[in-house]
Amino acid sequence: MHRCGTRDSIVANIHPTAVVDSSAEIGADVTIGPFCVIEKGVVIGDGCTLESRVVVKSRTSLGRQNEIGEGTVLGGRAQHVHVLDPGGVLIIGDNNRIRENATVHRGYANDAKTTIGNNNLMMVGVHVAHDCTVGNNTIIVNNAMLAGHVQVEDRAYISGGVAIHQFCRVGKLAMVGGLAKVTQDVPPFVLVEGGGAPEVVGLNKVGIRRNGYTADEMLQLKTAYRVIYRQGLRWSEVLEILQRDFPTGPAAAMHEFFVTGKRGYVQERRISRKATLKLAAPPADEDASESRGRGAA
């Protein structure tokens, strides 16, 4: 690390229009683009790239190899009626890509923190509020908004325009569909329909497979899913069965997630069988009238 007061060896990587406080600690091979502002006490790890107009506020630290897009603001004060000075901190890990015009706020209380783990992708216009915790290998798509104290676990996928209420949690490898309004916890491994009030529509099978889970592990998750959503059990019975039958393996995360929840959980969407239309293509040798008749079935 180099303090900006003695940055001779790295001056070529800092654009002359950037404003960098002399107390900031800048790692090796860091690139700071035009019109960036780096405030006092900031720590920027080795290999980070800040494109133009990035603002990194005091009490913010970045690990190694982070890429920060144009216009992003990191470490701003919490958006809260009551202002605490100086407020908490923002800690960002390694190998994150935070794209243009994203905003990530530091913790609200003076001893609080917002944390972003490693290998995350936050797309254009994402907002992460104070006291949030984002794990590792997550993807948060354009204009998604995380309110204060939200927790996003490893490898979760949050689609574009999703709004997550304060104190909610999104479990590991869950996928939330676009424009969903999340006001309760999203369990691990599930797929949530977007477009308004969220509903669970099954397991996130594509994400689970892409992350290397075996057929046996997938079967375990399916079995646990049926216990939670399909058997009509009391909640105490669900927790008892999850703890008893899935002490190890991926489904063990279900019990751990549920026993620590406080906001309730997104429910499954169930459609009555009577309302289901079973459409099938007619055999090739049927005449046109038969085809029309079957098509309306």
> What's the CATH number where 31 sits?
2.160.10.10
Residues 66 and 168 in one domain: yes
* 111 included as an active-site residue: no
Catalytic choice (107, 125, 131, 149): 131
Let me know whether 57 and 176 are in one domain: yes
Is residue 230 assigned to a domain? Answer: yes
Residue 292 lies in a domain: no
Residue 18 lies inside a defined structural domain of this protein: yes
pLDDT digits (tens), the chain, 297 positions: 656 643 444 444 999 999 999 999 999 999 999 999 999 999 999 999 999 999 999 999 999 999 999 999 999 999 999 999 999 999 999 999 999 999 999 999 999 999 999 999 999 999 999 999 999 999 999 999 999 999 999 999 999 999 999 999 999 999 999 999 999 999 999 999 998 789 999 999 999 999 999 999 999 999 999 999 999 999 999 999 999 999 999 999 999 999 999 999 999 997 545 544 444 444 444 344 333 333 333
The residue annotated as part of the active site, out of 127, 130, 149, 255, is 130
pTM: 0.89
Do 250 and 125 share a structural domain?
Answer: no
Indicate whether 26 and 119 sit together in one domain: yes
Q: Is residue 291 part of a domain?
A: no
202 in the same domain as 252 = no
Residues 88 and 204 in one domain: yes
Query: Is residue 282 in a domain?
Result: no
**Residue 44 located in a structural domain:** yes
Residue 258 sits at φ, ψ, to 5 deg, of -70, -35
Same domain, 91 and 164: yes
In this structure, the answer to whether residues 166 and 64 fall within a common structural domain is yes
- Domain boundary, last residue among 243, 258, 273: 258
- Cβ atoms 110, 139 nearer than 8 A: no
Q: Give the domain range for residue 21.
A: 2-210
Based on the domain organization, do 151 and 236 belong to the same domain? no
What pLDDT was estimated at residue 175?
Answer: 98
Asked if 182 contacts 197 with a C-beta cutoff of 8 angstroms, the reply is: no
Is 98 within a domain? yes
Same domain, 80 and 205: yes
* Distances in whole angstroms, Cα of residue 104 to Cα of each of 7, 27, 126, 168: 27, 21, 8, 17
**Among this protein's residues, is 94 annotated catalytic?**
no
Query: Known catalytic residue: 2?
Result: no
CA atoms within 13 A on the CB side of 266: 34
C-alpha span between 198 and 221 (Å, rounded): 21
For residue 294, tell me if it sits in a domain.
no
In a shared domain, residues 41 and 99? yes
Q: Where are the beta strands (DSSP E) in 106-182?
A: 113-116, 121-122, 127-128, 133-134, 139-140, 145-146, 151-152, 157-158, 163-164, 169-170, 175-176, 181-182
The answer to whether residues 81 and 34 belong to one domain is yes
Number of domains making up the chain: 2
Catalytic residue among 148, 161, 171, 194: 148
